[in-house]
Structure 1
């Protein structure tokens, strides 16, 4: 599938999505919103894509909305409609039963950071910078950024980042728990692909249900989360992949999971 503002590559079960507006620091345009919507449909429908990696072209991951277009393309009805579109896209990413990795190659601010927050795992290049400076525009991180940030780094850190709008280094992002690891710039995609390959070798249904269960642990009460956990296990124990995993363990070999 081809997009106007995104690169898309699928190889060995890994879908790599490349945010591709380098002339605008990979800012999110109207066209990119349409591409995001089509991308969600592609990711949900393509069983060959077991893991998804997001990254950006050049030295920027994504700077969020294209502020230069606010006065022309962002009148209030359009702004609200596009906020809903992005919110739905990020929610769809979070609900996707496939692991999502953000390989953050450079500046990652505003809506770009909100995109990274919707991913499951985040790896940062050492030169990457992070922030939520929306209050400099009289706005807030309004497409899931506040809620996801609180869950990830805690209330105090989230308040500090949102209220100050400060831009922080990759090392500070790692210290805050915003990213899982920091690597040298030239090792970023090698690290991301290596992680994607390891995840791609896991049982797909188990990964998908694990995502749902973990999400319930932060969005539901304890008893409900435990019920979802038990229900998920009762589904997985009947799968072909579970039987393959047990058989491979006994035979001292690597399992071959088929997603069944």
Structure 2
């Protein structure tokens, strides 16, 4: 008997689409699904043909959260030890993934699903999208970056209201608060996310990687340290072959032929 993949992979030009494929569970995050997604991201990080990644879900839902049945694993897994039992390896690797990741959200993005969207670089939401971190209603709190990433995305007051009441918000509210960057018509989130991915993929992969790296440093450092980090990345970029090619192409009024690989700081 062939086991159906829990993460479906397809390439649209230079954009890799990873689709969560547990529709009967509204694409809830099981340990197996997170491991498949982790492996898919590891592979994508090494593939020169992939310039950006889009994460989405099957059958009108992004991800309804984590499997409640998996909570027993969290009780028995030590805080330090077998991190794979809690899916922590997946979350760690997603947070350090070097290429841009766009979430294409339709329907539910709740609990772990909301944390997955927050961990992406850009969030595109259809009008049907619903975002929320309802963990307090189950006697727990977000444990995959939700408290940290939400407050960085929407600010203290809005984050506290969502976290402490467990109340969900609409796509329009998510855009107004800064959680989502774009709201599109029902059924068009993937198309809109692909358009962003294609726009990214036309740019220098070296510059894109360095820009993402520098921007994320702002979340973990003060302004002075962040500016120093940006300056270091700028010097790496300006000395790269893509820098010479991009500026020469501009002067010659032609499309640049950028390298296939990015750069790290």
TM-score range, shorter chain: over 0.9
Deviations 1:11-39 (A, max 9, x none): 31111000010011111112112213312
TM-score, structure 2 normalization: 0.91
Q: For residue 23 of structure 1, what is the aligned residue in structure 2?
A: 24
Partner of 1:185, secondary structure, is coil
Conserved? CA contact 2:31–2:87, under 8 Å: no
Check whether the contact 1:52–1:98 (CA below 8 A) recurs between aligned residues: yes
Deviation (angstroms), 1:90 = 2.6
Question: 3-state DSSP class of the match of 1:7?
Answer: strand
Alignment of 1:39-188 (within 5 A): 39-70=40-71, 74=73, 76-78=75-77, 81=82, 85-188=86-189
Mapping of 1:201-220 within 5 angstroms? 201-220=202-221
State the shift of 1:84 in Å.
6.8
What is the CA-CA distance between 1:202 and the residue it aligns to? Answer: 0.6
Residues 31 and 86 of structure 2 are in contact (CA less than 8 Å); yes or no, is this contact kept in structure 1?
Answer: no
Q: Relative to total residues, which structure has the larger helix share, 1 or 2?
A: 1
Q: Distance in 2 between matches of 1:227 and 1:137?
A: 43
Give aligned pairs, total. Answer: 257
- CA distances 1:76-107 after superposition (whole Å, capped 9, x unpaired): 22485467753432332232221110000111
Going from structure 1 to structure 2, the CA distance change for 1:107 and 1:83 (only over 3 Å counts) comes to farther
Question: Residues 85 and 233 from structure 1, CA distance in 2 versus in 1: closer, same or farther, beyond 3 angstroms?
Answer: farther
Indicate if the aligned counterparts of 1:60 and 1:106 stay in contact, CA closer than 8 A.
Answer: yes
What is the Cα deviation at residue 69 of structure 1?
A: 4.7
CA deviation string 1:195-223 (max 9, x = no partner): 11100001111111111111112211222
Show structure 2 runs of 5+ residues with no match.
none
Contact persistence 1:98–1:208 (CA under 8 A): yes
Q: CA RMSD in A?
A: 1.9
